Amino acid sequence: MSTTFYSNGKLFIAGEYLVLDGADAFALPTKFGQDLVIEDSEDKQIDWNSYDHDNHLWFKEIITFEEVIKGSDPAIDTVKSTLVNILHEAYVLNPKFIDTAKGYKVSTHLSFPKNWGLGTSSTLINNIAQWTEINAFTLLKNSFGGSGYDIACAQNNTPVLYRIKDNFVEQVEFNPDFKDQLYFVYLNKKQNSKSAIYSYNNHKSSHLAASVAENNKITDAILHAKTLKEFASAIQKHEIHLSKVLEMQTIKEAIFPDFNGVIKSLGAWGGDFILVVSKENPKEYFFNKGYETILTYDEMIL
C-alpha cells in the first residue's frame, strides 16, 4: 500500500527579494508540481528514487535511518546531502516517522522539467512536511532557507498574498479579463535563488523601509489592476523600483530592449521565467531570439 502527497509549483509575481525584509509578496501556484509516494519497506533504510517530468530517473540513493538521525556534513554539497539534511530536520521536528518505522521506498515525480525553477525544492519540502506531519514553513527555515512564499503556493490552489512575518498567507482573487495577453517565457537557465539572495543582501540600501512601502503600494496596484494598461504600468513600475534596489538592469533593458510590450522578471533576476505583457502573441519574437518555451497564462497557472 502506498500514500501519495502532492504540492503545487510557484511563480513569484511581485515582491521578490524585499519579501525577505517584510514586504508583501504576490505569487501564483502553477498547474505543474511534484508528488511524493511513500511505501513501507524493511532494513531501516529509505530507497529513494526521483523522476523528472518525462519519467527519467534523475536521482537514486539508499539513505539509512542512521544517516537521517545524524544529519549530513554541512561541508558536503550534493543532492544526497541536501536531501539527508531536509530529512534530518524533519526528524528533529518529529522523530516518529523514523523511530516507529521499518523502512521506506520513496519516489518523487515532477510534472515540469526541473531546470524550470518552478519549485523542485519547495514542493519536495512541503511534501516531506505532509508525510512527516510537521510545519512546512519551519522545515524550510531549518533546512533550505528562503522567504516561504513558495510553501504558500505549494499549499494553496489560489493566488496568494504572503508576508514572512508569522508566515502570513491570504488567498486573493486574481482572474483578470486580460489574462490572455499574459505569457510566461523560460530564459533557458535555472537561477540559483541562494546566490541571488546573497547578492540582494549586499545591495539593499539603508532606505529599506521606504523600499518595502513602495513595493507594497505597487504590488497592490498589480493585484487590483482592472485593465491591461493599468497592469502593464504597475508591472513596469515594479521592475524599475527593484532595478534601483538591486543596482541591476531590468531584464528588458539587458536582453529585450526592442520588445514592444512589458517584461518582468519572476523571482530571482536573470533566470527562470519572465512574465510578458503583450497585446500581440509574442511567440515569434522570442522564438527568433532562441527562447522556445513560451506558455500562456492558462497553460501555466492553476
Confidence of residue 49 (pLDDT cuts 50, 70, 90): very high
Confidence of residue 122 (pLDDT cuts 50, 70, 90): very high
Confidence of residue 200 (pLDDT cuts 50, 70, 90): confident
Contact 20, 165 (CB under 8 A): no
| pLDDT at 299 exceeding the cut of 80 | yes
User: Span 213-225, mean pLDDT?
Assistant: 98
| pLDDT at 271 exceeding the cut of 90 | no
**Taking the model in full, what pTM does it have?**
0.95
User: Span 62-83, mean pLDDT?
Assistant: 95
How far apart, in whole angstroms, are the C-alpha atoms of residue 161 and residue 27? 7
Confidence at residue 206, expressed as pLDDT on a 0 to 100 scale: 72
Confidence at residue 240, expressed as pLDDT on a 0 to 100 scale: 97
User: Span 240-264, mean pLDDT?
Assistant: 95
| pLDDT at 194 exceeding the cut of 80 | no
Confidence at residue 46, expressed as pLDDT on a 0 to 100 scale: 98
Query: What pLDDT digit, counting tens, does each position of 126-181 carry?
Result: 999 999 999 999 999 999 999 999 999 999 999 999 999 999 999 999 999 999 99
| pLDDT at 55 exceeding the cut of 90 | yes
| pLDDT at 265 exceeding the cut of 80 | yes
Confidence at residue 74, expressed as pLDDT on a 0 to 100 scale: 85
Burial class from Cβ neighbours inside 10 Å (0-12, 13-18, 19+) for residue 219 reads buried
- Provide the 10 A C-beta neighbour count for residue 16: 28
| pLDDT at 192 exceeding the cut of 80 | no
Percent of the chain with pLDDT over 90: 88
| pLDDT at 195 exceeding the cut of 80 | no
How far apart, in whole angstroms, are the C-alpha atoms of residue 72 and residue 166? 28
Confidence at residue 197, expressed as pLDDT on a 0 to 100 scale: 78
Confidence at residue 104, expressed as pLDDT on a 0 to 100 scale: 98
Confidence of residue 203 (pLDDT cuts 50, 70, 90): confident
